[in-house]
Amino acid sequence: MTPKYQFERRYVGPIEAVIMDWAGTTVDFGSMAPICAFQRLFAEEGLPISEAEARGPMGTEKREHIRQLCAHPRIRDAWHEVKGEYPTEADIDRMYDDFVPLQIDAIAQTAELIPGLTDALEWMRANDIRIGGNTGYASTMIEGLLARAAEQGYTPDSNVCATEVPKGRPYPHMSLKNAMDLGVQHLCACVKIDDTLTGIEEGLNAGMWTIGVAVSGNEVGMSLEDWQVLSEAEQELRRAAAYQRMTASGAHYVIDSIADVIPCLEEISARLAVGEKP
Ligand SMILES: [Mg+2]
Nearest to 210 by CA among 155, 247, 174: 247
Average pLDDT over residues 121-140: 95
- Of 21, 28, 194, 260, the catalytic one is 21
Interval between CA 244 and ligand 1 midpoint (Å): 18
CATH number 3.40.50.2300 is the correct assignment for the domain at 34-110: no
Q: Identify the pLDDT of residue 138.
A: 86
Q: Does residue 21 have an active-site annotation?
A: yes
Q: What is the pLDDT of residue 3?
A: 85
Ligand 1 center–CA 171 separation, angstroms: 15
2 burial (CB, 10 Å; 0-12 / 13-18 / 19+) is exposed
Tell me the CA–centroid distance for residue 4 and ligand 1, in Å.
48
What is the pLDDT at residue 60? 83
Distance from Cα 20 to the centre of ligand 1, integer Å: 9
Which band of pLDDT confidence, cut at 50, 70 and 90, is reported for residue 94? Answer: very high
Q: Is the pLDDT of residue 67 over 90?
A: yes
Per-domain boundaries in the chain: 17-29+112-274, 34-110
| CATH fold for domain 17-29+112-274 | Rossmann fold (3.40.50)
Catalytic residue among 62, 177, 194, 256: 62
Per the annotation, does 240 bind a ligand?
A: no
In this prediction, residue 8 carries a pLDDT of: 87
What is the whole-number distance in angstroms between the Cα of residue 17 and the centre of ligand 1?
19
| Mean of the per-residue pLDDT values of the chain | 95
What band does 137 get if pLDDT is binned at 50, 70 and 90?
A: confident
CB distance 146 to 118 below 8 Å: no
Beta bridge partners of 190: 17
pLDDT at 220: 95
Helix axes 73-83, 62-71, angle to 10 degrees: 80
Residue 59: per-residue pLDDT: 73
Q: What angle do CA 78, 81, 82 make, to 5 degrees?
A: 90
Q: What is the mean pLDDT of residues 13-17?
A: 98
pLDDT class for 34, splitting at 50, 70, 90? Answer: confident
Average pLDDT over residues 180-206: 98
| Residue-level pLDDT at 127 | 98
Report d(CA 186, CA 209) in Å as an integer.
12
Please say if the pLDDT value at position 141 is more than 90.
no
CA 59, 272, 22 angle in degrees (round to 5)?
20
What pLDDT score was predicted for residue 36?
87
Residue 58: the pLDDT is 80
pLDDT (average), residues 201-209: 98
- Answer yes or no: is pLDDT of 29 > 80: yes
The pLDDT, as a whole number, for residue 151 is 97
228 exposed, middle or buried (CB, 10 Å; 0-12, 13-18, 19+)?
exposed
260 or 36, greater pLDDT: 260
Q: Say whether 21 counts as a known binding-site residue.
A: yes
pLDDT value at 186 more than 90: yes
Share of the chain above pLDDT 70, in %: 100
CA pair distance 141, 135, nearest whole angstrom = 10
Q: What is the DSSP letter of 28?
A: S
What is the average per-residue pLDDT within 263-278?
97
Q: What percent of the chain has pLDDT over 90?
A: 88
Question: pLDDT tens across 217-246, in order?
Answer: 989 999 999 999 999 999 999 999 999 999
